[in-house]
Amino acid sequence: MAKIHEVAEAAGVSISTVSYALSGKRSISPATRDRVERAAALLGYEPNAGARMLAGRRTQIFALTEPFRPDTHAPTHMSFVLATSIAARRYDYDILLLTDAEASAGMRRVSASGLVDGIIVLDVAPEDDRVALSRAIDVPTVFIGVPEDVEGLVCVDLDFEAAAALAVDRLADAGHRRIGFVGHPESAYARSNFPPRVRRGVEQEARRRGVAVSAEYPGEGDERHRDIREAVRRLIDDGVTALALHCDDAAHSAVLAELAAAGLSVPADMSVVSIGSSFDTSSFSTPLDRIPLEPESSCELAVGLAARMADGESVEPGVRLTEPRYQAFGSVSPPR
């Protein structure tokens, strides 16, 4: 725990020179900078966080608010947390967790105490009380996800509607006229902000392209695996020649299992595309084309915006959607 004073002494300069040499906030002669850096490294100097906050009015901490709802999909959520945390470090920020009751109440607390320079909001619900909170506090806030009311907010997300449309387009381009959609359990469409956007994207693009869609929303819990296989069976009986999936990896596995059980091969007998998946669809027994979720893109963008706002730059409110990307792994071909 060396202090700036000791570094200054060791380098034979004043403490302000040490501060400037290390922060780069004013020009320092190469020789001096070098001496300072050497001394700092030698002593293992790390500026005291508290002193820095107090004097510099910047904490280099972002709060990450995540309610951890019971129906949150843990693996996907984890990849968002990870991506945010990594992006934050690139901008020299640490992440402070606000969960459970503190997801909301903590926003007020940490902004009032000046503990954080910005707030990143995860796991956004259509009607989210953190929307009103973000307007009430004076700390820059960025939403990853799009709530109902976005007035004055800075939001970032994958363009799920475009992603869904892209999936439908690829299938329609290949000549499919009747496709099946396997979505999340019905309950997810009220609680979360993005499943409805995928559904809407599929429906609208299908209408535009003259493609018929049969949708299935297999349930949760114990019987899920069976539910999904029954849903796939119904879609096969319906005569669909392609499937668009927006569900978790276990559901993907179940779909593939049922196709195999029905003696259908991909893509010869059934084309399959995965929409907004955060897991690796290329390592399934049958690699699947996908439009990936890519939390890294949204999180990087969100953290970058938060950093700019924390620097006092003004950022235009609005919803920033990242463009979907199509990854082909050979699971789509023309229908038989």
Partner DNA sequence: TTGAAAGCGCTACCAG
Partner DNA sequence: CTGGTAGCGCTTTCAA
Q: Which is nearer to its own copies, 65 or 164 (CB)?
A: 65
316 contributes a contact to its own copies by CB under 8 A: no
25 contributes a contact to DNA by CB under 7 A: yes
207 interface partner picked from DNA, its own copies, none, CB below 5 to 8 A per type: none
Residue of 322, 232, 304, 245 whose CA lies nearest to 277: 245
Strands 271-277 and 141-144: unpaired
15 contributes a contact to DNA by CB under 7 A: yes
CB of 302 to DNA, least distance (A): 24
Count of C-beta atoms within a 10 Å radius of residue 2: 15
H or E element that contains 160: helix 160-173
Phi, psi (5° rounding) for residue 293? -75, -40
On whether the CB atoms of residues 183 and 198 are closer than 8 A, the answer is yes
185 contributes a contact to DNA by CB under 7 A: no
109 interface partner picked from its own copies, DNA, none, CB below 5 to 8 A per type: its own copies
On whether the CB atoms of residues 4 and 47 are closer than 8 A, the answer is yes
CB of 19 to DNA, least distance (A): 3
* Distance in angstroms (rounded) separating the CA atoms of residues 212 and 214: 7
Phi, psi (5° rounding) for residue 81? -60, -45
Residue of 103, 138, 86 whose CA lies nearest to 300: 86
32 interface partner picked from DNA, its own copies, none, CB below 5 to 8 A per type: DNA
* Distance in angstroms (rounded) separating the CA atoms of residues 103 and 90: 24
115 contributes a contact to DNA by CB under 7 A: no
322 interface partner picked from DNA, its own copies, none, CB below 5 to 8 A per type: none
Phi, psi (5° rounding) for residue 42? -60, -45
Q: Which stretch binds its own copies (CB under 8 A): 15-23, 72-80, 152-160, 190-198?
A: 72-80
Question: Please, where are the H alpha helices in the chain?
Answer: 4-11, 15-23, 30-43, 49-56, 74-90, 102-112, 129-136, 160-173, 188-191, 195-209, 224-238, 249-261, 295-310
59 interface partner picked from DNA, its own copies, none, CB below 5 to 8 A per type: its own copies
Residues 112-171 that bind its own copies (CB under 8 A): 112-115, 138
CB of 113 to DNA, least distance (A): 8
Residues 231-260 that bind its own copies (CB under 8 A): 250, 253-254, 256-257
Binding site for DNA (CB under 7 A): 3-5, 12-17, 19-20, 22-23, 25-29, 31-33, 45, 47-48, 51-52, 54-58
Q: Which residues bind its own copies (CB under 8 A)?
A: 1, 44-54, 59, 61, 64, 68, 72, 74-75, 77-78, 81-82, 85-86, 89, 94-97, 99-102, 106, 109-110, 112-115, 138, 221-226, 250, 253-254, 256-257, 283-285
